[in-house]
Chains A and B, each alone.
Chain A
Amino acid sequence: EDKVVQSPLSLVVHEGDTVTLNCSYEVTNFRSLLWYKQEKKAPTFLFMLTSSGIEKKSGRLSSILDKKELFSILNITATQTGDSAIYLCASANSNSGYALNFGKGTSLLVTP
């Protein structure tokens, strides 16, 4: 059975800190790994990663995938209170019709 495990489960940092969120996966017929941000409403798409070692970047957020060690990290630099959210990691399996298997998420709180 495919598994996605995120760590830590929760994190509290001060504004301006840099944080690293972790996602490890066990997926048969791995296709891609996706990151989402969920504030008080619906998850919103951040990144999709398919190739090892290629960093995807959007502003202060960046993510990278290691297909050999089966993990991904999401980095947020110079955190702001608006970064407070649950960050979800999900894997896509080529055999599952592109359904996503989500981890339990990391709850990030950025304090002023």
Chain B
Amino acid sequence: DAGVIQSPRHEVTEMGQEVTLRCKPISGHNSLFWYRQTMMRGLELLIYFNNNVPIDDSGMPEDRFSAKMPNASFSTLKIQPSEPRDSAVYFCASSPGPGRGEGETQYFGPGTRLLVL
């Protein structure tokens, strides 16, 4: 299995620009999670989906952030407009999901390192 795939791996953009991060979960996994990691705040959960439905977006910092999961094999996290304080590593993770053995075990993608100038 290819594991969780994220793109791009690195993104450098200017303040005010739109940024779109992409994620392909492990095939057969029903849950998908978006995280942000910084030195100051550690690993923070932004939003997660079960069966393509957003369950909890309380971690999304503000309205500039949005996430979609149009089908079981693709999700996007969008920041519009981006700001320098959004600079961080963004991870996508997937897990088998509720009702399945060890369904909470999450497997992480390689991350997208975002720098907003």
The interface size of chain A toward B, counting residues with CB under 8 Å, comes to 21
Main secondary structure of the interface of B (DSSP, over half): strand
In the assembled complex, the Cα of A103 lies from the Cα of B106 at a distance in Å of: 15
Which residues of chain A in 40-55 are interfacial with respect to chain B, using CB atoms and an 8 Å cutoff? Answer: 41-45, 48
Chain A hits for B43, CB < 8 A: 43, 88, 102, 105
The interface size of chain B toward A, counting residues with CB under 8 Å, comes to 23
Residue of A nearest to B98 (CB): A98
Q: Cβ of B56 and Cβ of A99 under 8 Å apart? A: yes
Chain B hits for A98, CB < 8 A: 31, 50, 95, 97-98, 103-104
In the assembled complex, the Cα of A31 lies from the Cα of B102 at a distance in Å of: 10
Which residues of chain A in 93-107 are interfacial with respect to chain B, using CB atoms and an 8 Å cutoff? Answer: 96-105
B85-117 Cβ-contact flags toward A at 8 Å (1 or 0): 000000100010110001111111111000000
In the assembled complex, the Cα of A34 lies from the Cα of B50 at a distance in Å of: 20
Chain A hits for B110, CB < 8 A: 41-42
Q: Which residues of B pack against A, CB within 8 Å?
A: 31, 33, 42-43, 45, 48, 50, 55-56, 91, 95, 97-98, 102-111
Would you mind naming 24 contact pairs between A and B with Cβ atoms under 8 Å apart?
Answer: A34-B104, A34-B105, A41-B110, A42-B108, A42-B109, A43-B43, A43-B108, A44-B108, A92-B104, A97-B31, A97-B48, A97-B98, A98-B31, A98-B98, A98-B103, A98-B104, A99-B33, A99-B45, A99-B48, A99-B55, A100-B45, A102-B42, A103-B42, A105-B42
